Copies of this chain bind each other. A is one copy, B any other.
Amino acid sequence: MEPTPQTTMSPEGPTLRIRGVNGWFPPFPSSPADQATVPSTDLVQLADISTVRTLAPGQMLYAQDEDATCLFLIRSGIVRISHLTVEGRRHILAFHWQGDLCGLMDEGRYVNSAAALCETEVLAMPRDRLHGLLLTQPLLQNEFLVKAAAELRNTQRMLVTVSGTDAAHRMASFLLECTHHADHYDPATHVVTLFADRRDIADYLGLSGETVSRALGQLEQIGLIRRNSAREIAIEPDALRIYVEH
């Protein structure tokens, strides 16, 4: 490819995401009106510089340490963001949904890996062209800023949860989180359909797969959930909410 003029030590971009579902929040919005006003022309131009990619279940979107060329905006599906430590431990930092951004990079390389959990469509936005576009479209850039702040907020919450509560409480939090995704929760029957296997949930909550099982058993014994099958969990939303808040 073309040699980058001078790369210097200038690193790169961020991962950003907003989870449209659950009442996320703008970080610096002066008024609700303002925040809604991303002109459709901006979006058209965003589409102009981007390409659409479709991922099969399990397919990797990008890999940790790989040269970062694009940021990604998720149009549908679920993306799992994971990080591998030098000791070989895998951490899942987030699950991303429609409307979320991903592709956080440092020094021109992706910091984490991203893979689709199910059939997933993303918008691939070349880094350079996106940067140029953001500088000419302040409202669009503001949208990105909002998403970044939302993602930061999410990661902070995760940090507090993981380092502050025991296995059962983390599992309860996770189940309530699942509740916000329409495709995986039936409000009528209160049944959650888990979109990740035990190993993924464990790596997300900072536990082992066995402990996730035991935590589910514990919650079931207290009567907060009932396991219809490994992936189908009937929950008591209100009781669960009270439980996580101790």
Contact = CB atoms under 8 A, between A and B. Distances in A.
A6 B34 CA distance: 12
> How many copies of this chain are found per oligomer?
2
Contacts of A10: 25-26, 29, 31-32, 35
A162 interface: yes
Give the residue among A10, A15, A162 with the most B Cβ atoms within 10 A.
A10
A12 interface: yes
Given A159-B155, A163-B162, A30 B131 contact: yes
Nearest to A81: B156
A63 interface: no
A127 interface: yes
Contacts of A34: 131
Contact of A32 (B8, B106, B139, B246): B8
Interface string A87-111: 1010101000000000011110001
A136 interface: yes
A34 to B, nearest CB: 7
Nearest to A5: B31
Contacts of A163: 91, 162-163, 206
B142 A135 contact: yes
Contacts of A112: 156
Contacts of A212: none
A202 to B, nearest CB: 11
A180 interface: no
Contacts of A172: none
Interface of A: 5-6, 8, 10-16, 23, 25-32, 34-35, 71, 83, 85-87, 89, 91, 93, 104-107, 111-112, 127-128, 130-132, 134-136, 138-139, 141-142, 144-146, 148-153, 155-156, 158-160, 162-164, 206, 245-246
